[in-house]
Chain A
Amino acid sequence: MKDMRYIRAASVTEVTDCLKKYGDKAKILAGGQSLVPLLRQRLARPGLLIDISRVADLKFIRKTKNTLKIGALTTHRQLETDPLIREHLPILADMEKQLASVQIRNLGTLGGNLCHADPAGDVAPALMALGAKLKLISATGARTMSVENFFKDFFETAIRPDEVLAEIDIPLLPDLGHAIYIKHSSRGVDTAIIGVGTFILKDHDTDTCKEIRLCVGAVGPVPIRAKNAEAVIRGKVVTGKTIAEAGKKAREEISPVSDLQGSAEYKKELIEVFIQRALKAASSGRRK
C-alpha cells in the first residue's frame, strides 16, 4: 500500500489518458466494493489507483428507440429503483434485489461488478440473457463487445489495460419476449451458488420458442450459456416435458467444481432445478 499512488479523475478522457500512461500498473476504483477488500488485504497491489467515482459522464440511464443505455458508474441501487428500468427491464430490478445488501448496492456499481468478473456475480448472467453490449473506451477510440464475450477467466475480462468500461447497452424486450433472473444462495442475498438469467421469445402464431438464452452463473470460471438445453427448447412449444429435458441437458453439459458453497453433486442438482424453474417462469410470461 505504501507505494500506491491515487488519482481522482474528473472525466473519461482523464481516465483513458491515465490508463494509456500506466497500463496494467493502474487499477480503476469505482464503488470499491470488490477492490477495497483486496487492497486492504494487500492481495492487490496496483501502482496507481484511478478513482472514477466522480466522473459524471458515466452515471446515466437513458432510453433510446430500441435500447436502454446505462452508464458504467450507475449503482446497483439506482438500477433497482429506477423507473425506466422497472418499466422496460424489470428483470434487472429483480436481479438487484437479490444482490448483496442495500448498503453494498448503494455503493457498488454496475461497471465495477462486471469488470471484477467474479464468476458468481449476478449481473452478468442477467445481462447475457438480455443480449447486452458493452462499450469500452480507450485513448485511441471505442469498441463494442457483447457481454457474452467479455468474460475470460476467474476475475479476468477481455478489457485491455488501456480501456475503461463506459456504457452498457441493453436491447429492449420485444413483444412476447420475457426475461427473468433467479438465483440460489444460502442466506437469500448471498453469493450465488447458482444464478440463471433467461430470455425467451415466442412466436405469436405458433407459440413456439423463437429465441432463447439460458445463462448460468457461478458454475465455472465465467458465466456460460447452457446451449444444449437451449437447443431442446428452441423451435418448440415449451411444455413440462421439454422443460424437464432441458434441465437434464443443462445438468449434463455443465461441470461445476466443489467448493465451500456446495459440492459439485449438489450444484448439478441445482442446475437442473434452476434451469427448469427459469424456463417455467419465463415461458409462462409472468414477467415481461
Chain B
Amino acid sequence: MRYGLLVQGAPYSSQASHSALRFATALIARGHQLECVFFYHDGVYNASRLAAPPQDEPHLVDAWRGLNAGHGTQLQVCIAAALRRGLLDERESARHGKTGHSIEPPFELTGLGQLVDLGNQVDRLVTFAP
C-alpha cells in the first residue's frame, strides 16, 4: 500500500514524532511504500537542521533524513507554518533578509496544496498529532 504521514507534533515535546517514525519503520519493514511525510503545525520543528539533542536520546531529525536516504520518502514542510516559527531554507532566508537558515534538503518547504495532493495520491494518509 502507498502511505503518507502528516506529523503535527514538535519533536521531543510530544510523542507524535517518535510514534510516526516507529510507524514509518514498521510500514517499510512490511513492504509498504511511504511516499511522503508532511510536517504541519508544530510538526515543522522536526525539520530544524540545528537540532542538537543529547546523545542518549534518539536524533529525530537524523531519523527523518534516514527515511529519505534509505527509502526515498519525501520530507515536505508547510511553508506558512514554518516561516512564522523561524524555520527557513536558504532561499527564504535570503528573501526575508535573514542571516543563516534552519531548513536544508532533504526537507523541502512546500504549500498546503501538497498535503491535499498527497492525500489524493496515497491509499492511506495517517496523522500523528499531540
- A and B associate in one complex: no
Q: Give residues in B with beta carbon < 8 Å to A.
A: none
